[in-house]
Amino acid sequence: KARTVLLATEKAFAADAVAKIQAAFDESKYTMKKLENYKSKDELLAAVADVDAMIIRSDIVDAAVLEKAAKLKIVVRAGAGYDNIDLKACEAKSITAMNTPGQNANAVAELVFGMMLTSARNNYDGTSGFELVGRSIAFYGYGAVARAVGKLAAGFGMVLYAYDPYIPKDAIKKMGAEPVDTVADLFKHQYVSLHVPLTPETKESINKELLLKMPKGGTLINTARMEVVHEAQMLEVLKERPDFCYLCDVGFKAQEEAKAIVGDKYMKRVIFTKKKMGAQTVEANNNAGIAAANQIVGFFEKGETKFSLKA
Ligand code: 3PG
């Protein structure tokens, strides 16, 4: 049966990855429509009208989008986090939703180290910074991304800790980190790196009380989701603790306020990327994009439902 797939990416994939996704669909004789770098939701609403499947990134797929997508059977989030998909609305319309876990992990891990090194070396301003060897890093969530960061951290000679309520402690240990008992215990360590999904439980859970527990030079790294951190309280911590650093790839609404607080220590005490850049490498685009294409073909041709998400 002829299928039409929409590649809807407000933040476009590398051209190389788009060509590979196209090739995967060509092979199955599927038609691929592209909506890249679009600027308004109306463009998305118009584009979904005649498609059987969609590949998205952080693009919002809510009830309004699904309403217009009369033929849609499956939406695949080329990436890990799926807080941008209204799973209940999908379920109500019997639309399958999937993600492609793990495909972005190394890209995010390398970005974490880029930010850590930039901060530790004072944004290369000529003054003495410090080395990462022997320092401790604690992971909130120990899934694919955290473990990829952990692998690099071990290579740097850092000491690893992790808290993940969904992974048994002995498994965490086997994967190279010392398990800790509570979220608060993570904040005894110099670096805390967030790798949890955005859920009602994690939303604004990283607050002043936790951040003030961090030792001297305490640094929070956020490559998870903006909303996991309590922004107003983050600003207070930046004001109260001149040693504290926040390295963030996932957006911060009060960026100008934060930059004003840290002044010429921007890129040392606070780093904000221009757009969420963690998954923005040609390799991650290839991995996640091709996985998404294969999952769509597998779903239609073989009824495969691995990686399908539950509301
Ligand atoms: C993910 O959850 O996979 C990352 O946040 C990547 O998001 P992006 O595709 O919007 O870059």
Contacts for 193 with CB less than 8 Å, ≥ 6 apart: 112, 137, 138, 139, 140, 146, 149, 221, 223
Q: What is the ipTM of this complex?
A: 0.99
- Residue 219: the pLDDT is 99
Beta pairing class for 136-140 and 191-194: parallel
Q: How far is the CA of 81 from the centre of ligand 1 (A)?
A: 6
Return the beta strands (E) in 244-311 as ranges: 245-248, 270-272
The full length of the chain comes to 311
Encoding tokens for residue 305? 């439902």
- Residue 2: the pLDDT is 87
- Residue 186: the pLDDT is 98
Q: How far is the CA of 129 from the centre of ligand 1 (A)?
A: 31
Q: How far is the CA of 43 from the centre of ligand 1 (A)?
A: 21
> Considering all CA atoms of the chain, what is the largest pairwise distance in Å, rounded to the nearest integer?
64
pLDDT along the chain (311 residues), means of 10: 95 98 97 98 98 98 98 98 98 98 98 98 98 98 98 98 98 98 98 98 98 98 98 98 98 98 98 97 98 98 97 91
- 108 SS3 class: helix
What is the atom index within ligand 1 of the atom nearest the CA of 277? 11
Q: How far is the CA of 83 from the centre of ligand 1 (A)?
A: 10
Radius of gyration of the chain (CA): 20
What is the atom index within ligand 1 of the atom nearest the CA of 104? 3
- Residue 131: the pLDDT is 98
> Considering only CA atoms, which residue is closest to atom 5 of ligand 1?
81
**Residues with beta carbon inside 6 Å of ligand 1?**
11, 57-58, 79-81, 104, 276, 278-280
> Considering only CA atoms, which residue is closest to atom 3 of ligand 1?
79
Q: How far is the CA of 226 from the centre of ligand 1 (A)?
A: 12
Q: How far is the CA of 218 from the centre of ligand 1 (A)?
A: 26
C-alpha to C-alpha distance for 117 and 130, rounded to whole angstroms = 9
Backbone angles phi, psi at 252, to 5 degrees: -155, 120
Residue of 18, 38, 54, 58 to test ligand 1 pocket, by largest number of atoms within 8 Å of CB:
58
Contacts for 174 with CB less than 8 Å, ≥ 6 apart: none
- CB-based contact 297:24 (threshold 8 Å): yes
DSSP of 2-61: --EEEEEESSPPPHHHHHHHHHHHHHTT-EEEEEES---HHHHHHHTTT-SEEEESS--B
- Residue 1: the pLDDT is 78
- Residue 184: the pLDDT is 98
DSSP of 165-228: TTS-HHHHHHTT-EE-SSHHHHTTSSEEEE-----TTTTT-B-HHHHTTS-TT-EEEE-S-GGG
pTM beyond 0.95: yes
Torsion angle (degrees, nearest 10) of CA 130, 180, 172, 98: -90
Which class for 134: exposed (0-12), middle (13-18), buried (19 or more C-beta within 10 A)?
exposed
Encoding tokens for residue 73? 């059977």
C-alpha to C-alpha distance for 308 and 13, rounded to whole angstroms = 22
Q: What kind and span of H or E run contains 274? A: none
